[in-house]
Amino acid sequence: MASPLISTSELAAQLGSANLVVVDSRHDLMNPSVGRGAYTTGHIPGAIFMSIDDDLSAPKTGSNGRHPLPTPEVFAATLGANGISNTSKVVVYDGGNAMYAGRLWWMLRWLGHDHVFVLDGGIAHWQKEARPVETKANTLAATTFSAKANNAMRLTAAETQATLTDSSRRILDARALERYRGDVEPVDPVAGHIPGAFNRAFALNLRDGVFKPAEELRREFEAVLAGRSPEQLIHQCGSGVSACANLIAMEHAGLPGSKLYAGSWSEWCADPARPVARS
């Protein structure tokens, strides 16, 4: 399987190509307007902007987490409205750590679109290399996207809870260690983690602003798997966004197939009947 990453030099050589769609998905959990503002200030030439909150999430109910997945039909319509078709090659980027770019990457894969890549190092690496940016807003002609959702890629809260007594499965929390332990909780109303979950912050995937070599990441995630297959690993984070960066890292390392609990901690802790661990 090819790497889900694309380098800045590879993207630069492809700008302007037919069927290429570059998507800016910058975001800030604490200030959602930051992403669109950053896009306006400067973005990769030709890039469109898609919002984590407005384009990549369904309405919140209070029990379905901070970034609930839209239905495949609704998201397919959003893709088409933004000029993304089943024949598009999509390159998505964020500020640099793949925390937000991974969300669109995973959602496209979920709908059966494999021709999607994450820009390694994001716009930070692009600008570090003094590559061009522009400020004009871009829109693409609306098209049609036909979804073929692969729901085997995701787990619900109930399915995730059912694995807590299954030692063959492992849950991996991508949040920072202090949030996992429950020392602090800046976003959600309850601190802590899913009982039995292991922690590996998604930031550990990077070195000098880009992903570590595939061989190194493979060793690190094989230690997490501890003899399990990737299919037995369930990724989660705060709201199903940054966990996708660990999914990218695993696929880059040649370990595809693990699952996403998309509701993640924000959905989990919304139900007081679900257990909470702190350590």
Give the pLDDT confidence of 1-10 residue by residue, as tens digits.
689 999 999 9
CB 146 within 8 A of CB 76: yes
CA distances 267 to 61, 136, 174, Å, are: 10, 37, 15
Tokens 């919140």 belong to: 60
Which among 181, 26, 34 is positioned nearest to 99, based on CA atoms?
Answer: 26
| Per-residue pLDDT tens over the stretch 10-26 | 999 999 999 999 999 99
Average pLDDT of 115-121?
Answer: 98
What band does 77 get if pLDDT is binned at 50, 70 and 90? very high
pTM: 0.97
CB atoms within 10 A of CB 220: 16
In the chain the first and final C-alpha atoms are separated, in Å, by 37
At 279 the pLDDT is 86
Give the per-residue SS3 of 235-253.
EECCCCCCHHHHHHHHHHC
The separation between CA 214 and the C-alpha centre of its own chain, rounded to angstroms, equals: 18
Q: Is 275's pLDDT higher than 90?
A: yes
Distances (CA, A) of 151 to 94, 110, 156: 26, 7, 10
List for the chain the helix, strand, coil content (%; round to 5).
35, 15, 55
**Token pair listed for 222:** 């094989």
Given 38, 234, 237, 248, the catalytic residue = 237
Could you confirm whether 269 is annotated as catalytic?
A: no
CA 259 to chain centre: 12
CA dihedral 245, 249, 251, 254 (to 10 degrees): -170
Is the separation of the CB atoms in 49 and 38 below 8 Å?
A: no
Exposed, middle or buried by CB within 10 Å (0-12, 13-18, 19+), for 47?
buried
CB 104 within 8 A of CB 36: no
Q: Rounded to whole angstroms, how far apart are CA atoms 155 and 173?
A: 14
Give the whole-number percent of the chain exceeding pLDDT 90: 99
